[in-house]
Amino acid sequence: MKKERHFVYLESDTPGKLSWSWIEKFQHDRGLKSRGEALEELFKEYAMLKVQAESQSSLAKAIAKEVKPQLDLIRIRTGYVDKNVRVLTNLLNSYLIISGMEDAIPVTDVMAESVTATQKQVADQIHAYQVARKDKLTRSKPGDDDE
C-alpha cells in the first residue's frame, strides 16, 4: 500500500463541526496512532454506514411494495371514520333518548328512528362505494384484447 502526504484543512474548534480536536479525541478513544489512521477509520465507518443505510432503504421499499397491495383501502378509509361516527351516533342517540324518555329504557337497547335511518343510509353509501370501486378495478383497460 502506497502512502501519500496531503494537507487537510479544518475549521477551528467550532461546536458541532469536524475539527482537529474532535479527530484527536476520536483517535484517542479508538487507540489509533495518528491522525491519518483516525481519518482512515472515519472514512471506513462512513462507507459502511452508507452501505447499511442504502440496504435499509431498499429493504423498507421492498416491504412497502409487498404489503401495500394487501391493504384494503376501503377498510383503511372507513375505519377511522367509522369509529368517530359510532361515538357521535352514541352521543346523539343518548341525547335523543334522554330528551324524550329519560330513565325509562337503557340507552344501549333503544335507538332513535332517525339514528337508525342514518346508519342504514351510511351503510348503503359505503356499500355502493365498494361496489363501484370493485367494478372500476375489474373493467378492461384501453388496449386490452377484449375491446
Could you report the per-residue pLDDT of 84-109, keeping only the tens digit for each?
Answer: 777 777 777 777 777 775 555 555 66
Torsion of the alpha carbons at 48, 50, 52 and 57, rounded to the nearest 10? -170
Contacts of 35 (CB under 8 A, 6+ apart): 20, 23, 24, 27
The pLDDT assigned to 147 comes to 43
